[in-house]
Amino acid sequence: MPVLLLTLLIYVLTAVGSRLAGRCTTWCCALCGLPMWVVGGTVAPFCLALPQLMLAFLAAGLSITGLAVGTALAGAVASLGLALAVCLLNPRHTVTVDRSEFLRKCLLLLAACGVLVLFVRDGTLSYTGTGLLMFLFVLFVLISIVYQHHYIYGEGCEMVSTKRNAAAPPPESAAATYGYTAHTMAFPVMSVPNALKNLGGVIAGLVLLAGGAQALVYSAASLANLTGTIQALWAATLISFGFCLPLLADALDHPFGSAWKRFSVRCRYFPPRTLPMQLINSAILNLTLALPISSLMYRERLPFGSQFRHYDLPICAAMTLILLLPPLLRRRLYRWQGSLCLVLYLLYLAAAWFLPLSGA
């Protein structure tokens, strides 16, 4: 019980550090002159996946490969099967996404799953697989930047929604209406004090995040040793769920407390309506960035346990297909997609708990 309580406290530190670092990083990028469509296409999704990336990086550096791989894969599954599912099921909000970008990102995620299936058949991630995942990451960055440019300036967007017969908003020049910061969060006045304050926020956030991730690695390893379980079990349950809590708060419109709501709103680095796309971006980064980084940090072929090959990858691919097919065939989103993804996520948790396979 003390280990669990300490773990919950660590989650608070990592969540605060991640949000603080993400918000201040986007402002510093704006101060350096990067256009908002570049920041929205690169920095925002990277910051959303930062906790999983940091933990996978540290775990692989310590040769705790079960946590490194498990955190990346379970993070992708939780982003789709829990946070995005709740976002789709929330009756107070209508989920609206750009159809073309949504389809592109789902196909990219399927491609990452396919690369992993092909190149981990012998129980390790080959160097060829690592290179292909890095190529998909570069492709993801390019696609995101191009999309953000089109989105900000209202060029050819085809919106699909969970609302029946919802009229898609007409494409219009957001720049002409709102200025170049349209569809982004407002930034503070660019001055030396604000620059120093936000630079300090980046450093403080990264320190909190790194400390929290390091503590989580030891906490999960300790729980696995105390209970005689595999590390993959804790990566699939406690770690992935804990990292998903701030995203759940966003998806449910912050029902977890006024203090976190005020902090989250103040440190928000992407518009709330873009949360569904950001969740898919986070899942893609878990596979195309966290895993290659872990492989490079381990400096050998990254061990890929049976549990990851038979549970995480098929569930992630199945969720992606559920999200992909209705917009592709029917040109709209449905709330039942969230229900199916949530059911798959619960089945995944049940399998991880009661039918564990060799993982780490």
Q: Give the pTM.
A: 0.86
Rounded CA gap, 214 and 58, in Å?
7
Contact 272, 249 (CB under 8 A): no
pLDDT tops 60 at residue 353: yes
pLDDT digits (tens, 9 = 90+) for 154-197: 666 788 888 876 544 444 444 443 333 444 445 555 667 777 88
pLDDT tops 70 at residue 358: no
Contact 65, 294 (CB under 8 A): yes
CA dihedral 296, 284, 272, 172 (to 10 degrees): 120
Contact 295, 132 (CB under 8 A): no
pLDDT digits (tens, 9 = 90+) for 279-290: 999 999 999 999
Contact 353, 92 (CB under 8 A): no
Q: Which residues pair with 96 in a beta bridge?
A: 161
Query: Burial level of 90, CB count in 10 A (0-12/13-18/19+)?
Result: middle
pLDDT tops 60 at residue 84: yes
Check residue 114 and give its pLDDT. 94
Q: How confident is the model at residue 61 (pLDDT cuts 50, 70, 90)?
A: confident
Distances (CA, A) of 247 to 178, 239, 359: 28, 14, 27
Contact 54, 288 (CB under 8 A): no
**3-state class of 98 per DSSP?**
strand
Rounded CA gap, 239 and 349, in Å?
12
Give the count of alpha carbons within 13 A of 327, CB side only: 27
What stretch of H or E contains 161? strand 159-161
Contact 28, 274 (CB under 8 A): no
What's the whole-number average pLDDT of the chain? 81
Contact 305, 123 (CB under 8 A): yes
pLDDT digits (tens, 9 = 90+) for 95-142: 888 889 999 999 999 999 999 999 998 889 989 999 999 999 999 998
Mean pLDDT computed over 215-239: 75
Q: Which residues pair with 303 in a beta bridge?
A: 124
Contact 273, 96 (CB under 8 A): yes
Check residue 155 and give its pLDDT. 65
Check residue 317 and give its pLDDT. 95
pLDDT tops 90 at residue 7: no
Count other Cβ atoms within 10 Å, centred on residue 103.
Answer: 17
CA dihedral 31, 32, 36, 42 (to 10 degrees): -120
pLDDT digits (tens, 9 = 90+) for 266-321: 777 777 888 888 899 999 999 999 999 988 888 888 888 888 888 899 999 999 99
